[in-house]
Structure 1
Amino acid sequence: MEIINVTTKPPHDLTSLVLVIGKLDGIHKGHQLLLHEAKEYIQEDDMLAVWSFSKHPQYVLNEDPEFEHDLTPLKDKVSILKEYGVQRLYHVEFTKEYAKIPADEFVLEHLSQLNVKRLIVGEDFRFGAGGRAGTDELIRLCEKINIQVSVIPFFRENGMKISSTDIRSLISNGKVEAAQVLLNRRYRVIGEVIHGNALGRELGFPTINLGKLESYVLPKPGVYVGTAEIYEEGMVRESWACLISAGYRPTVNGEGYLIEAHLLNYSGDLYGKTVAVSFIRYLRGEIKFDGLESLIHQMQQDKKEAEEILGFIE
């Protein structure tokens, strides 16, 4: 996928585009509907493209901590968009200055740099300084430069509009199964395996520790059943069922939030490898045990329960 970083106006380009605009954090079922609709307009010489933002406007403009982290940081967004056939991503550096661009300037001076055959947005799309312009204004302005606009109604699950905000809340509360329904896939984080204190190995439960997760919405502290996908040269080479411990490790006086995974029936060295950990089910909350023996006993119970869930019992 071609990634074009945009700080002001996009570079002039004559490629015929079908363009989806939105933050698209999570690329949930509602976003997927936009992408499917866009593909209906693709003809032989057209390119499917997405115009998205580096940071959530609510965080940039209001410093709302709820929007500081992403469901799909850039590396995840690129990977998922590829699966939907997106060939180009306009990655817009959203700043307070960028937010001041008037609606007419955005369309007539920014989008006009591109050869947009059709623009796809959701019905709640807002743009221009203060977010004062909506889809009616978008259609009116786009008519001036011969861009056709498709406004897609909300995707609803059980009668309720799907939103990234709701999915964030579900994950932060450990409700990963409900989040999976709205995402149409399991929630995952991708990181590099880093060195830890090797305590898990000493306890008979060797774990991998994932680093560089600062950009993610982090799941509620606790123990989860999940899967771990091991990457080599940018491709998934192996997948293993795992137990995931997410949180602060109070029994061993852990420092900071950490995600660890114990890969069931796996042996090997994964240091420095890229691993994607996906969350299937929340098992229990984080507990401060009175000693390592109690911790080991609980980990054995967790593993047994995970095997039952995953159908690993012989």
Structure 2
Amino acid sequence: MKIISLHYPLTAGELEDAEPTTIAIGHFDGVHRGHQNVILTAVESARDSGAKAAVMTFHPHPKEVLGHSAGQYVSALTPLADKLECFERLGVDIVFVVQFDLAFAAVSPSMFVHDILRPLQVGRVVVGFDFAFGAKGAGNASVMRELCEPQAIEVSVIEPFLLDGEKVSSTRIRAMLAEGKPQVAAELIGAPYAVRGTVVQGEGRGRTIGYPTANVQPSASYVVPKIGVYAIRAEVDGQLYDAVLNIGVKPTFHEHLPEPVFEAHLFDFHESLYGKTVTLRLIAFLRAERKFESIDALIAQIKADAEEARSILISN
């Protein structure tokens, strides 16, 4: 898969390798089942026409640049690196990563089509039903169709993907994670919600009480699920291990931590993890984090959590 970074206005160098494409356009945070439907439609259409299958996405998120107070994106379901991996698994040939800055934010819908899509030799555009583009979101799917028709660019608009009668959306996934419902989030995404990071030196306390943990420093600003304990699968060097994960501020030992930490205890794993990349895949929420009155009480609860996690993971 080829990854091409674009900046507005496009330069001759950015266009020198342009070739006919069918392109899915969107931010695609979460790359959930609705997004997958849009992208796979583009991939299948490209295969039928002999064009390259492409995705155009934007980085950073527009809300980070424009500073909208409502729902500022300080976190992502799928940071860019994870998103690119998802696109590749879906069969995408080319990803255009458009730098979203103030210059691009001022591009009108007409300029978007004339200055970006046409020079990139886009033959067909695939977007979701709620797609918005152009300065202040002035364009929608209907506007895209109107502007593209004179340029002989076809436009396909994909209807919402429904699950249990409700639209699958990134907002809904975020809500499920905040409520401690990773199973529902997984249904919406099509896979367990995952956080990737590097194992760093922690306080070493877990080893002294018989439950060594990997302190995972997320590689990007991920959405943090509900604070608490989870049954998970941890991926290390391409292998999956059943594990229990605590996301929290460790109230038994600290009055206050500035942000939650991710500590995973991998079952039947005895190698050093320091410096390794680990992907934490959330399977089930076990309980909320709480403060214990003694170390013995904490150890007893950790043992119970581990047993419950093992039981859940056997059937998942």
- TM-score > 0.5, shorter chain as reference: yes
- In the alignment, which residue of structure 2 is the partner of 1:86? 92
Q: Do structure 1's residue 27 and structure 2's residue 28 form an aligned pair?
A: no
- For structure 1, the residue ranges without an aligned partner over 5 or more in a row are none
Q: 1:153 to 1:65 in 2, by over 3 A?
A: closer
Asked if 1 retains the 8 angstrom alpha-carbon contact of 2:252 and 2:291, the reply is: yes
Partner of 1:244: 245
Tell me the residue number matched to 2:59: 54
| Secondary structure of the structure 2 residue equivalent to 1:40 | helix
Please give the alpha-carbon distance, in whole angstroms, between the structure 1 residues aligned to 2:8 and 2:145.
22
Name the residue aligned to 1:266. Answer: 269
Query: Aligned residue for 2:279?
Result: 276
Percent identical residues? 37
Number of equivalent positions: 307
1:70/1:217 contact within 8 Å kept: yes
TM-score, with structure 1 as normaliser: 0.93
Cα shift readout 1:49-74 (whole Å, capped 9, x = no counterpart) = 11011133234320444532110001
Following superposition, the deviation at residue 112 of structure 1 comes to 1.5
TM-score by length of 2: 0.93
Per the alignment, residue 293 of structure 1 pairs with 296
The amino acid of 2:60's aligned partner reads: K
Letter in 1 for 2:286: L
Amino acid in structure 2 at the alignment position of 1:97: A
Q: Which amino acid aligns with 1:294?
A: A
Equivalent residue, structure 2, for 1:142? 148
Displacement of 1:14: 3.1
Equivalent position SS for 2:172: helix
Tell me the amino acid that sits aligned with residue 199 of structure 1: R
- Tell me the alpha carbon deviations over residues 128-168 of structure 1, each in whole angstroms, 9 at most, x when there is no partner: 11111111211121122221111111111121111101111
1:219 lines up with 2:225 in the alignment: yes
Alpha-carbon spacing, 1:89–1:281, altered in 2? closer, same or farther (3 Å): same
Superposition CA RMSD, Å: 1.6
Q: 1:113/1:96 Cα in 2 relative to 1: closer, same or farther (>3 Å)? A: same
* 1: CA distance, partners of 2:157 / 2:222: 29
Unaligned runs of 5+ in 2: none
Task: Answer whether contact 1:18 1:41 (CA < 8 A) is retained.
Answer: yes
